[in-house]
Structure 1
Amino acid sequence: MSDAVSIIAAKRDGHELTPMQIDWVIDAFTKGIVADEQMSALAMAILWRGMTRAELARWTAAMIASGNRMDFTSLPRPTVDKHSTGGVGDKITLPLAPLVAACGAAVPQLSGRGLGHTGGTLDKLESIPGWRADLSSEEIHAILADPAVGAVVCAAGADLAPADKRLYALRDVTGTVESIPLIASSIMSKKIAEGTGALVLDVKVGAGAFMKNIDDAQALAEAMVGLGTDAGVRTVAVLTAMDCPLGLTAGNALEVEESLDVLAGGGPADIVELTLTLARTMLAAAGIEGVDPADKLADGTAMDQWRAMIAAQGGDPAAPLPVAKESLLITAESDGVVTALDAMGVGVAAWRLGAGRERQGEAVQAAAGVRLHAKPGDRVTAGAPLATLYTDTPEKFEYAAEAIAGAWTIGDTAVDASPIVLGRIGG
């Protein structure tokens, strides 16, 4: 017989949890026998002490076993999904899912909400009038089977790794988001239960990521690739830079707007580069050859697929996006060249403006966020705009401005641009 207190104490003291302990605590947490505060304590102990490979495999299996598994083998197209570990301005899923669908794959993109300073894909898409994240299994299958759509971005159903859904929300408000075992098991329990045939992981590394250095990012990537491969899912991880925000926006509606620019054949160069890199990796993992996703952006096919995807989930792709009631301009204090931009400062500012949540279940502001006017390599003069902050609640400006103050490093000479793709594991 197991109990929550002894399991928490065992992990706190650095012991390896037994398979029976892991199975029991996940099952009991799912049923409400283990209270939120007890699972929060266990999550903190795991953050501190870590997990062995055997513990991680069993923990992930128990998360999967807490619910049902989806089956897409009847679809006429190969299935492939992408998951990002989260970053600032990371709206890549938005143009990527319809783009890969336009190239012939089915993309069952089960996404999440914001965690800490990183934005949530579902929060972003919910800024589109009418769009809904919660779909039944039948709706998901029907959308993926429709060649005019072929992609779905939605919340994991209540019956898909329900233990993870509860733990995911707790991690956001208990300071345990950064735990490598909890990140790996959270992502892979959902992705394996989801039933996709192939999976590409975008593992962020840098100041604006949960993994601050390449060693931690590689450890996370290897853990997830191992879990996926062992479960029969062709899994590839791409390590990508997150010292500087992606694109020029961080927020919800702001990032949708920028994603539309990419789908229209424009958009910031870093967003386009990473979108195409991940699209090509996904197509290769799904076994699709002879299609260049760049062509689908150029000829408008990806945009058509986007409109169909949004409409299939109740959204109005032609509706105007929300606009914030208030704005505040941040300006440069000196002349020079921007040599660095701290992604964490930008992400925390967007979060404090209302784009993210401080408590589990809290609503976010669709129009809140940050629009950047200067990034590394840009020359600025004193008084020139660096960013505009947006919110419906102007009392948040002071707190947000504190977070973003000093985010820009301004020097005398430009520095060479850093690569976006830092490495690759699996495949």
Structure 2
Amino acid sequence: MDTIELEPKHIPVAGSADVVVAGGGPAGVCAAIAAAEAGADTLLIEEAGCLGGVWTSGALAWILDAEDKPSGTLLARIVRTLRRRGELEFAGDGTPAFNIEAMKALLDEFCMEAGVKIRCYTRVTSARRSADGAIACLVTESKSGCEAWRGRVFIDCTGDGDLGAAAGNPFELGDPREHRTQPMSLLALLTGLDAAQMRPYLIRRGNWDEAADRFAALLCEGDYRPSYRGVALFHLGNGLFMLMANHQYGYSGISAADLTAASIAARREIGRQVRILKTRGPAWENVRLVATGARIGVREGRRLAGRYCVTLDDVMNGRRHPDGICRVRFAIDVHALYPDGGCKLEDAPPKAEFYEIPLRALIAGEVPNLLMAGRCISGDFFAHASYRVTGNAAVTGEAAGVLAALAARNRVFPGNVDYKEVIQEMKK
């Protein structure tokens, strides 16, 4: 590879905080709000122009695995507030479906009310560690240039473990055999459809395969077949539908070139699918594509090594922990790694009704003041395919935020905080 030499430069320190959160998706916003409400001076850094991550920029207007989360969680508060404002309904299977613009505004509101300092349009690029191995500051790039941010405790909520990797914490990526990651999908929002007429094609609890097969038959034309076999149409309410009907195979979520290529291919395929639907009779002739996600949905990035690794065995056996902070019910949702299938979890024993994520899985293994929440917590390939969804990301984010605030308050590393204090604080 051709290289250039970049001259050493003095980077301005743009700010500091007790707790610095990298990534403003479901995990990051809940981490930041929880830390601030627990009394910590908190900074939230997000690369997009809005908070919410896949909920907003990614157009995933469903909160998956929101069940069985305590009523006092930030996630429950978000759901209650949106519902009270008429911006959320429960879909046919009980999943919360929300207005994306209302979610953006609400997350801004909650963060500002808690006193979180927000910096959008800013991406974490590197980290500097002190002699004891702790992160002294992280470095960002933005329209403001290259800047540094100091903190006592840092939380990686980037989804792909960007901060943890930059700080040198070990990680795993992909399946255990080939290190290949699950395919990406770009979500789309559709209007011009009647919910009653769409009922045979809509995804509801217990009917995914049947509805997907029926919908996929509509999308086939000539030699074209959807890249995703489990094509799905979801009703979000108020005449709005969410379409998930593409798989982009073989791309890496930690490669900008791959993300670009996958996004272009996905937009092309979605456009073709909508054009096909318009030819499928009166029920479909007015269908209109109103938006695709500003970012493609990445199912899998780095899994940062922590003090505990959530495993397939934990998932199958419903393992609980004294420091359990999040109960997970979601299925082991491994999307085939190749267009012809492969690396699905086949012939496995039934998953337990639920299992718990311990606080230890949120504490980095080799960087003492680093926590992680959301997709990049410590777990294996198959467990990750279950806990990765947004309801669990939000709750792990809240736990990480509380732990970070307690560590900063007591001037200790997070691993030295009694987990009972975290659980007690989360119950307030």
Q: TM over 0.5: same fold?
A: no
Higher helix share: 1
Identify the structure with the greater strand proportion: 2
TM-score band, normalised by shorter chain:
under 0.3
- TM-score relative to the length of structure 1: 0.24
Alignment TM-score, normalising by the size of structure 2 = 0.24
Q: Which has the higher contact order (CA 8 A, sep 6+)?
A: 2
